Amino acid sequence: MIYANEFAAHLRASGCRESTVRRYGLYLSLFHRYLHTCRITDIREVTAEKIIQFRVYIRQLPVKRNAKKMRTYDHNSCIKTLSVVRRYFAWLVQDERILRSPFELIAGGEKRIQHLRNALSEKIIARFLDSITGNDALSIRDRCICELLYASAIRLGELVSLTLQDVDMSAHSLYLEKTKNGYARIIPVSARACAHLAAYWNSSRPFLANAKSTTFFVSKSGRPLSNSSVGKMLHKRLCEANMQDVPLTAHIFRHSCATHLLANGAGLRQVQELLGHRNIASTVGYTHFDLTHKRRLVKLYHPLENELYEDLGAKKY
């Protein structure tokens, strides 16, 4: 009695997106695999001791990184997995399928490690963008995608979900409906990015898209782009620019855009709205830009540092 399908239905009824339900299902499948190794078929047989042993099990579980390399689950992946299993048992109790959760006898969960957001420098981003110079349909499309990712800080899933109605070049804006948190938002687009959108629309998309296609960005076969196809495109373009060692992904474009906006004086609330974060704490992770920018801000705005104070002839101690 594992109740995986029933738990998935509960998540959907709670308002979880389908991608979240699938992700939870993958985490839960690790737990079910562990139960199979323990020859446990009844969920009521799971004890606190088994949960503790499961912690050790997932930390040692090998995971494919790519075709050649293997790795184990990192700390945060283990925490996410345990969090899903904890929620799973809470639902089992709530639905009266079990009397008590084994997590009740276990001390509070471990905390996730908060990593700094990875961002590339403005020079590296500009160098990469300028390396995509071809005039063929795919080059124009790829340059447009990269320019838009950096200019708007949209997520990869939001980019591949864009429809023809979502892109308003005359208003220099994007309408994002399929977002991570479920809240639609309107994103401004720079004049430079709009110029590349127009180039793609006029000189590239007509040669790639078929008559029935409603998505804005399409593959060379006219079908909607997938997340993986954009990732492969970025890797290909990095190799062509002899920048294969640069860790550039669609999400790094997002991190870089947010970091550069904050570094150049944008407000935290404005960047929060641009990124579509529910909680401003998620945006704070982007405020680790270098010390030079922080010194410039202090020099510009601190009352004992700015030029106005010096012009008034104040003494310096």
89-106 per-position pLDDT tens digit: 999 999 888 988 998 888
What CATH code is assigned to 122-286? 1.10.443.10
Q: Confirm whether 180 is a catalytic residue.
A: yes
**Which residues lie below 8 Å from residue 279, measured CB to CB, with a gap of 6+?**
none
Q: Where are the domains of the chain?
A: 4-105, 122-286
Q: Confirm whether 254 is a catalytic residue.
A: yes
Q: Confirm whether 235 is a catalytic residue.
A: no
pLDDT recorded at residue 67: 46
- Per residue in 164-222, pLDDT (tens digit) is 999 999 999 999 887 776 778 899 999 999 999 999 999 999 999 987 889 999 999 89
- Per residue in 138-159, pLDDT (tens digit) is 999 999 999 999 999 999 999 9
Q: Confirm whether 68 is a catalytic residue.
A: no
pLDDT recorded at residue 148: 96
- Per-residue confidence at 113, pLDDT binned at 50, 70, 90? very low
Q: Which residue in the list 155, 196, 237, 260 is annotated as catalytic? A: 155
Q: Which residue in the list 10, 117, 205, 277 is annotated as catalytic? A: 277
Q: Which residue in the list 17, 23, 180, 185 is annotated as catalytic? A: 180
Specify the pTM: 0.66
Q: Which residue in the list 97, 172, 251, 293 is annotated as catalytic? A: 251
Q: How far is CA 163 from CA 215, 216, 225, in A?
A: 4, 5, 11
- Among 24-33, 60-69, 88-97, 239-248, the range scoring the smallest mean pLDDT is 60-69
- Per residue in 66-82, pLDDT (tens digit) is 444 555 677 778 888 88
pLDDT recorded at residue 316: 45
Q: Confirm whether 155 is a catalytic residue.
A: yes
Three-state secondary-structure class, residue 313 = coil
pLDDT recorded at residue 111: 56
Domain spanning 4-105, CATH class: mainly alpha
Beta strands in 177-278 (DSSP E): 185-188
pLDDT recorded at residue 305: 64
Q: Which residue in the list 10, 254, 255, 260 is annotated as catalytic? A: 254
- Out of 72-81, 246-255, 274-283, the most confident range is 246-255
State yes or no: pLDDT of 289 exceeds 70: no
Q: Confirm whether 251 is a catalytic residue.
A: yes
